[in-house]
Every structure is written in structure tokens, then in C-alpha cells.
């Protein structure tokens, strides 16, 4: 988990300033009809943090974890990320992920192998859920930052 934690720590050390440099207008602009704006993509990452927070904690408290997936389009629309204040979104994303980094750095060895089934998918170890979370974040941050 050290590599996953280190990757997340690097993201949190370098990305907030880059996000803060994006203007509110640019953050609100969608590249094409039906595509999310940067605000909405960052909102999606906040939703991902919220859902994975539950997974990271609950999997440590049980012999196995089975949880739902989430309807990302509905979550983004319902929370109106498109009209949210950009600096507030950046700060929420940063602070939530600092907490997740704290969880990842402090998870004991044994729970890392707890099988986690998400949305009916085949179970994978908690360690893979954590690593995939960071992969997912990197993918979407690349969309935002170009």
C-alpha cells in the first residue's frame, strides 16, 4: 500500500495548485454537448472519494465487503456540480483525499486482503480497490488538466 499512498500523496502535493489556476469560466465550460465540465468531473471525483471512503472503512470491519456501485451521471446532476463554486470544489476534493490518504497509510496489513465485491462484480482485495481508486483519479485529473 506504500506505493498507492505515495502516488496519492504526490497527486495531493502537486494538483491543487494546478486546479486553482483554472478559471471559474474554464471550469464551467463543457468541451461538447453531453460532456461534463471540469467542475462536473471534479465533482465526480468527490463522489468517488465518498463512495470509496465507505468501501475503505467497511472492508476493514468485516471478513468481506459487498457494496453497490453508484449512478455517476445521476449523482453529478443531482448535486448540481455545474453551479458549484470552483475553489470550494477544489478544497473539498483536496481535504477529502487527504483523509483517504490517512486511511490508506494506516490500514493494517490483514484487511488489505479482504475481498470486496462492488456492484455485483467479482471480488477483489481491498488493496486493489484502493489502488484502482488512485488510477481512476489520475485518469480524470488528466481530463481536467489536459
Write the pLDDT tens digit of every residue in 4-61.
Answer: 999 999 999 999 999 999 999 999 998 888 899 999 999 999 999 999 999 999 999 9
- Tens-digit pLDDT profile for residues 111-120: 999 999 999 9
Q: Tell me how far apart the alpha carbons of residues 44 and 77 are, in angstroms, rounded to a whole number.
A: 10
Domain 2-145, CATH number (from 3.40.50.720, 1.20.120.450, 3.90.1150.10, 1.10.3720.10): 1.20.120.450
Angle at 60 between CA 59 and CA 64, to 5 degrees: 40
CA distance to 18, 29, 87, 126, per residue, from 47 (Å) = 20, 20, 17, 19
The pTM for the full model equals 0.95
Amino acid at each position: 500500500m506504500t506505493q498507492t499512498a505515495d502516488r496519492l500523496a504526490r497527486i495531493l502535493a502537486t494538483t491543487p495548485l494546478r486546479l486553482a489556476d483554472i478559471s471559474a469560466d474554464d471550469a464551467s465550460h463543457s468541451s461538447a454537448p453531453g460532456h461534463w465540465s471540469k467542475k462536473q468531473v471534479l465533482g465526480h471525483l468527490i463522489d468517488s472519494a465518498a463512495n470509496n471512503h465507505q468501501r475503505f472503512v467497511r472492508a476493514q470491519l468485516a471478513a468481506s465487503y459487498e457494496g453497490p456501485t453508484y449512478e455517476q451521471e445521476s449523482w453529478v446532476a443531482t448535486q448540481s456540480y455545474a453551479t458549484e463554486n470552483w475553489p470550494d470544489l477544489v478544497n473539498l476534493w483536496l481535504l477529502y483525499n487527504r483523509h483517504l490518504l490517512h486511511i490508506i497509510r494506516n490500514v493494517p496489513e490483514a484487511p488489505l486482503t479482504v475481498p470486496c465485491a462492488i456492484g455485483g462484480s467479482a471480488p477483489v482485495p481491498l488493496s486493489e480497490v484502493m489502488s484502482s481508486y488512485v488510477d481512476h483519479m489520475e485518469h480524470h485529473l488528466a481530463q481536467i488538466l489536459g
